[in-house]
Amino acid sequence: MFEKFERLGRTDNGGSGLGLYIARRLARAMDGDLTVDSAPGQGARFTLSLPARDEG
């Protein structure tokens, strides 16, 4: 789900398939992470975790 992919032969204006890949890369670049918890028929929950900012 978080892998980079490209949809070939698209005829609609849908996405490029890079959103979750880019979001996770950005989160990890900031020492955080983007995870998913899902179950069939129950939907999915995405969690973005980032470290607390040091105000010092």
Q: Report d(CA 54, CA 33) in Å as an integer.
A: 18
On the 0-12 / 13-18 / 19+ scale of CB atoms within 10 A, 45 is: exposed
Torsion of CA 11, 14, 16, 19, to 10 degrees: -170
Q: Report pTM.
A: 0.68
Tens of pLDDT along 5-40? 655 565 666 666 688 899 999 999 999 999 999 999
Q: What is the structure's pLDDT at 19?
A: 84
Residue whose C-alpha is closest to residue 23's, from 44, 2, 39: 2
10 occurs within a structural domain: yes
pLDDT-based confidence at residue 55 (cuts at 50, 70, 90):
confident
33 occurs within a structural domain: yes
56 occurs within a structural domain: no
Domains of the chain: total: 1
